[in-house]
Amino acid sequence: MSVRAAATQEAAAAPARKAADYKSDCKPIWCPGCGDYSVLAAFTKAFAALALAPEKVVVVSGIGCSSRIPAYTSCYGFHGVHGRSLAAATGLKLARPDLAVIVASGDGDGYSIGGNHFLHACRRNVDLTYVVMDNHVYGMTKGQPSPTTEPDWDSKLSPGGTGLRTFHPLVIALAAGANFVARAFAGDPNGTADIIAEAIRTPGFSFVEIMSACVTFRPEQREWKQHVHRAMVQATDDPGRAARRLMTDDGFNLGVLYKGNRAPYQPRIGKGTKGPADLEKGFRI
Ligand SMILES: Cc1ncc(C[n+]2csc(CCOP(=O)(O)OP(=O)(O)O)c2C)c(N)n1
Ligand code: SF4
């Protein structure tokens, strides 16, 4: 039986779980009104909807306000190095394919310093769910522009704006080979939870971009809730079509936009190698 079929069978037999079961005792220190609170709520709702055992879930992150999220769940967590969450998560998933590995990042962590890892994680298609809380700014380090900051965003640290073209994470994910691409809005935790649950259920590399407002450095993002709307199209399995739609949409349509059917990467273990323990033996000094 496949790992996924076994997990589905296990979930069917698992006791019902509540979102509260996935919250830790650690109180979030995000600014009041930060979108990341709702993303945390969406994570725990999604885990409960899938009845995942907390000890079978690992939340891996880099550095940033958004990357604090593992500490606020009762699951296993790894709060790692800035921009390197995908590298850690890839190794973990390959060593422990029985675990659900959710990766949390911010637009600075994931698209600047971690941009190269993002491209290759899409290309490799390891069975991970990658959630980026995008607020178009470096929140933790007090408001520097990120790759998704609008070119004319004027601030003390970027007077007159950077003048730089913005990065388009969803289209880049499609071009690089992600198997699932979705856009969500933190202000809609139920809709976001549904998308995260579908991303976890979908084999391969699933990318969920969440518009999560930084109310401190980008207070104007409070207006996002007036602009977001459900995507008026069904998810397609044609990456070119999905990319064309994304290049011409208004940036506020929410939902699953692409769902492919690439088989997830499976490591080819050499002849006579039984698993990570045997590999470790080879490196013993
Ligand atoms: C190697 C390294 N470079 C820079 C930093 C400083 N740093 C910490 S968080 C951060 C940016 C975080 O921005 P983002 O990922 O957008 O997350 P947010 O805080 O907005 O959620 C930076 C530059 C660091 N911790 N490590
Ligand atoms: S600085 Fe911005 S991203 Fe960080 S906790 Fe505050 S509102 Fe959230």
| Alpha helices by DSSP H, the chain | 3-13, 36-49, 85-95, 107-108, 115-124, 169-176, 189-201, 224-227, 239-248, 276-283
Residues with CB under 6 A from ligand 1: 63-66, 82, 106-109, 133, 135, 137-141, 146, 214
Q: Are 104 and 285 in contact (CB under 8 A)?
A: no
Closest-approaching ligand to the CA atom of 108 = 1
pLDDT of residue 1: 47
Q: Are 105 and 87 in contact (CB under 8 A)?
A: no
Distance from C-alpha of 22 to C-alpha of 115, rounded to nearest angstrom? 29
Distance from C-alpha of 222 to C-alpha of 66, rounded to nearest angstrom? 17
Closest-approaching ligand to the CA atom of 210 = 1
Q: Whose CA is nearest to atom 1 of ligand 2?
A: 139
Position 145 pLDDT exceeds 50: yes
Q: How far apart are the CA of 149 and the centre of ligand 1, in A?
A: 15
Q: How far apart are the CA of 150 and the centre of ligand 1, in A?
A: 18
Find out whether the beta carbon of 34 lies less than 6 Å from any atom of ligand 2: yes
Closest-approaching ligand to the CA atom of 136 = 1
Residue 2 burial by CB count (10 A; 0-12/13-18/19+): exposed, middle or buried? exposed
- pLDDT tens per residue, range 39-92: 999 999 999 999 999 999 999 999 999 999 999 999 999 999 999 999 999 999
Token pair of 231 as six digits: 């995507």
